[in-house]
Amino acid sequence: MRTSSTIELSFKAIEHNLRFLRKMLNNRVKISSVVKGNAYGHGVELYVPAAERCGIDHFSVFSVDEARMVASVKQPETTVMIMGWIPVDELSWVINNDIEFWIFETDRLEACLKIARSLNRKAFIHLELETGMNRTGLTRKEISEIIPILLENRDIVKLVGLCTHLAGAESIANYTRIHRQIKLFKNLIKLFHDNDLHPVLVHAASSAATIAYPAFRFDMVRVGILQFGYWPSKETFIHYISHRKDKIDPLKRIISWKTEIMALKYINQGEFISYGTAYFATEDKQIAIIPTGYAHGYSRSLSNSGRVLIHGHFADVIGMINMNMLIADVSSILDVKVGDEVVLIGNQLDMSISVASFSELSNQMNYELLARLPKGITRRLIQ
Ligand SMILES: *Cc1c(COP(=O)(O)O)cnc(C)c1O
């Protein structure tokens, strides 16, 4: 089936970014490739095997449905780790398939022990410690209750990791808070070692902390957005580049999102274009109707402000983004025809258009626009 737009992933760019990360981290720090949100919209089915070809053997997801998706395409020896949601009735699938998972509540540990016993199979767990993010995580009190349980049940649970999540390493405003978190994290880890519990992997850093706080990389980093070629924030990029001589962005964008012109039309000066009065033609225009809208993940907030590439030239998005269509002004582009390629994100001839370049909005736009790219769009891996 062909959909009205296509997403292409560049294998070369995947390889390039993962090689950059590997080099930066030496061989001491393990990489867990975070592929929640359908690999940030890139598509788990294509991305996971491609990343494996580049040496990745550990993937992190948010939920059990995402873990099932990764499990269905990964190599047998590759590890999957669930960082968040697992309903109790899915725990047996998780344990049966050696999926690693985070425990942030005593109740979940109890349920996990019960199921592991009944299956007579070991559960591989990471304990998430509350260090100040105040979302999920075990408090010091809960930890002291859990330690004896872990000791008693060593035959059936393996403490693979101790982890925490930092509350905004992409912004210097959180510097003190993050240092406090790490201090507490180290204190809590000591409680385990004092009780002869020695996890294999201590981990805390996502992309931003991997760059901005090298001392907090511990045994493993959980890298999401960086591997796809985007910086978690402008600040993180500036932090990286300020320590470099060459001042070159070391990352490459992986994704290209393409469609084609569906229809063309001439509009007279004085007309409004598309719904309502959002766009008024102050001169005669040629417009291209493009079969991509907010139902396909092209944000409505790009109404009257996005840009697309046609014949290697920028064309402004005019009027409101519709559910399935958008309109671009092609008045100044020669010889456009129905069926001509339109690049929504990516490169065309010498020009390139990125998610963040759409507007001056925060980099949050990268995460959000990518994650909203629907699963149903045709995806292809290219060299
Ligand atoms: C999403 C997520 C990450 C990865 O974040 P990036 O900023 O994309 O690198 C790491 N850890 C946890 C717990 C996450 O939820």
pLDDT by position in tens, the chain (length 383): 889 999 999 999 999 999 999 999 988 999 999 999 999 999 999 999 999 999 999 999 999 999 999 999 999 999 999 999 999 999 999 999 999 999 999 999 999 999 999 999 999 999 999 999 999 999 999 999 999 999 999 999 999 999 999 999 989 999 999 999 999 999 999 999 999 999 999 999 999 999 999 999 999 999 999 999 999 888 899 999 998 999 899 999 999 999 999 999 999 999 999 999 999 999 999 999 999 999 999 988 889 988 999 999 999 999 999 999 999 999 999 999 999 999 999 999 989 887 655 544 445 567 778 888 999 999 999 99
For ligand 1, residues with CB inside 6 Å are: 34, 36, 83, 165, 206-208, 222-225, 232
Which residue, 18, 43, 33, 2, is CA-closest to 382?
43
DSSP 275-318: STTS-B-SS-EEEEEES--GGGT--GGGTTT-EEEETTEEEEB-
Retrieve residue 344's tokens: 């929504």
Ligand 1 pocket mutation pick from 17, 34, 61, 136 by most atoms within 8 angstroms of CB: 34
> Which ligand 1 atom sits closest to the C-alpha of 367?
8
Q: Which residues pair with 203 in a beta bridge?
A: 163, 220
296 vs 302: CA distance, rounded Å? 13
Task: Give distance in angstroms: CA of 312 to centre of ligand 1.
Answer: 35
Task: Give distance in angstroms: CA of 226 to centre of ligand 1.
Answer: 10
Name the architecture of domain 10-242.
Answer: Alpha-Beta Barrel (3.20)
What's the CATH fold of domain 255-353?
A: Lyase, Ornithine Decarboxylase; Chain A, domain 1 (2.40.37)
Q: Whose CA is nearest to atom 3 of ligand 1?
A: 206
Task: Give distance in angstroms: CA of 232 to centre of ligand 1.
Answer: 10
Task: Give distance in angstroms: CA of 320 to centre of ligand 1.
Answer: 33
Task: Give distance in angstroms: CA of 34 to centre of ligand 1.
Answer: 7
> Which ligand 1 atom sits closest to the C-alpha of 225?
8
275 vs 278: CA distance, rounded Å? 7
Which residue, 130, 129, 133, 135, is CA-closest to 169?
133
CATH 2.40.37.10-classified regions of the chain: 255-353
Amino acid identity for residue 151 in this structure? L
248 vs 253: CA distance, rounded Å? 14
Q: Which helix (H) or strand (E) holds 289?
A: strand 285-290
Q: Whose CA is nearest to atom 7 of ligand 1?
A: 207
> Which ligand 1 atom sits closest to the C-alpha of 165?
13
CB-CB contact of 248 with 237 (8 Å): no
CB-CB contact of 203 with 161 (8 Å): yes
347 vs 356: CA distance, rounded Å? 14
Task: Give distance in angstroms: CA of 284 to centre of ligand 1.
Answer: 48
317 vs 308: CA distance, rounded Å? 7
**C-alpha distance from residue 236 to each of 2, 132, 167, 168, 282 (Å):** 38, 21, 15, 11, 42
Amino acid identity for residue 361 in this structure? L
Angle 174-180-182 (CA atoms, 0-180°, nearest 5)? Answer: 100
In angstroms, the first-to-last Cα distance of the chain is 22
